Structure 1
């Protein structure tokens, strides 16, 4: 049994006439007759009883029609799903991004993508750059938005924007009135930094503590939100990327460094683009367009 024969058979039963089935399917009448004959020969049963120009469906034909109709609907659904996946309107996307880029820059992009393609199954994780790169390499993630991966992972990295470290200050702090902060200004202050696996912590240490000796009184905090809350409570200053979303009008401000320029490139990490689904590629395009335009402005 092939699908064309079943489709022809279904049309013959539904319309009650071979000629009408031929017109609907745009076949010659002889083609319809031949397909039905081959189907009957293949099954070894009569599906119709001929009564002049009329055809009457046999019991076996009635059963086959019910099953064939369900099968053809299923095939139609499969065809549509495959077409939707190829167009990026269905399928799945697995990505991860680091904070705060996930919440500050990607959240709105992800929301818009999901609204425009509701059939796409999307999962987004928030993690550190190294772990994201490792999971992209293993195939657990389609792509990530993070810092450049280690060279030994042999991943593609497309830089899109740069994150610059600054100092998060309570608006009432004496340094908050300055346009920029010198490294020496941090002497004697409690400095809140992220955990050692964070790319921003790594940037802090390589830029400000190149000898490996930390001259500052530092406290590790595993969340930028918690750093926000601690600075807001007037406990220490935070070392954070300069995202306006981390500031709070009248309460928290971020100031750049005056004597150093700690910068890290952020972008898209993937294994091989030609192995990704269309939905993943479309989301990557949306992220690329958004981050590139913001970087340019």
Structure 2
């Protein structure tokens, strides 16, 4: 059936007059008559009975009007939803980010994005770089915020920020009074580091191992926030990215290394932007706007 003819038919029944339907739809009266005739011919039934100047809806026409109203309403919803998805006001976004950038940089961005687009279905994971890259590659995530993937994976990567590792110490620890910490200052201490498959642990190992200084006790901890609490409780020092939000006022501070430069590039990874939905692209832009202007010095 021609949807235009169906819309014309619904207007004729609802308004009770062909002329009024023509005025509402901005058609010529002859166009309305022609569309009704074609609709009746298509269905093989009479939808109206002509009685002089009056037009009476048949029983079949009454049933069709009920169904047509529901159908046209559904089509209106479909049109609006498709438009909203294309404009980024609806749709689904599946993404992931590593810690601590997820909590320290992205939480506010995501909250603002959701306030302006509450109909977008957001799914956010917090995971490690390897897991995020694997899921992006498999199509389980639209994009991820993590370290750079291997070039042989053929994924797109757009750098956002550079993160540096520092030493988190209790405010009562002797190292807390220093502006910077040398690698040798860790000798004899208990050093809290992330688990072995963490990209920050890998960065720590590759940066620190060449110095040949390993005279400390190493304890693996699966969370930066647990490291934060352990440092607060007086159990050693922690190797963490330098974020002021990880410090606990009155309990712990983070100091940079003065003789090491452990830097990790973090950015957006995806398969191909041209296959992403508008909502995903808008969220990626919001994340870039929030991260790109921030210099390394500000991060420190």
Shorter-chain TM-score above 0.5: yes
Write the distance in 1 (CA, Å) between the matches of 2:202 and 2:78. Answer: 48
**Is the CA contact 2:155–2:270 (under 8 Å) kept in the aligned structure 1?**
yes
Structure 2 match to 1:265:
265
Further displaced range: 183-192 or 202-211? 202-211
SS of alignment partner, residue 204 of structure 1: helix
Cross-structure match for 1:17: 17
Structure 1 pair 154/162, CA: closer, same or farther in 2 (3 Å)? same
Displacement of 1:98 in angstroms is 0.2
CA distance in 2, matches of 1:150, 1:205: 19
How far off its partner does 1:197 sit?
A: 1.5
1:53 to partner: Cα distance: 2.1
* Map of 2:43 onto structure 1: 43
- Give the CA deviation at 1:22: 1.0
Q: Distance in 1 between matches of 2:253 and 2:21?
A: 74
2:104 is aligned with 1:104: yes
Stretches (4+) displaced over 4 A: 211-215
TM-score, with length taken from structure 2: 0.96
Q: CA deviation at 1:93?
A: 0.4
When normalised by structure 1's length, the TM-score is 0.97
More moved, 99-108 vs 18-27: 18-27
Q: Does the residue aligned with 1:46 lie in a helix, a strand or coil? A: coil
Gaps in structure 1 of 5+ consecutive residues: none
Distance in 2 (CA, whole Å) between partners of 1:189 and 1:20 is: 88
Q: Does 1:231 align with 2:243?
A: no
Matched residue, 2:160: 160
Aligned-partner Cα distance in 1 for 2:69–2:127:
48
Task: Say if 1:216 and 1:2 are closer, same or farther in 2 by CA, change over 3 A.
Answer: farther
Residue of structure 1 equivalent to 2:125: 125
For residue 166 of structure 2, give the secondary structure of its aligned residue in structure 1.
strand
Q: Do 1:205 and 1:212's aligned partners in 2 also have CA atoms closer than 8 Å?
A: no
8 Å CA contact 2:183–2:213 kept in 1: the answer is no
Cα 1:4/1:215, change in 2 over 3 Å? farther
Distance, in Å, in 2 between the alignment partners of 1:101 and 1:235 is: 24
1:89-124 CA distances to partner (integer Å, 9 max, x unpaired)? 000100100000000100010011001100000010
Q: Report the equivalent of 2:279.
A: 279
Task: Indicate the RMSD between aligned Cα atoms, in angstroms.
Answer: 1.3
Contact 1:160 1:295 in 2 (8 A): no
- Encode CA deviations 1:205-229: one digit per residue, 9 max, x unaligned: 0100149995532111001111011
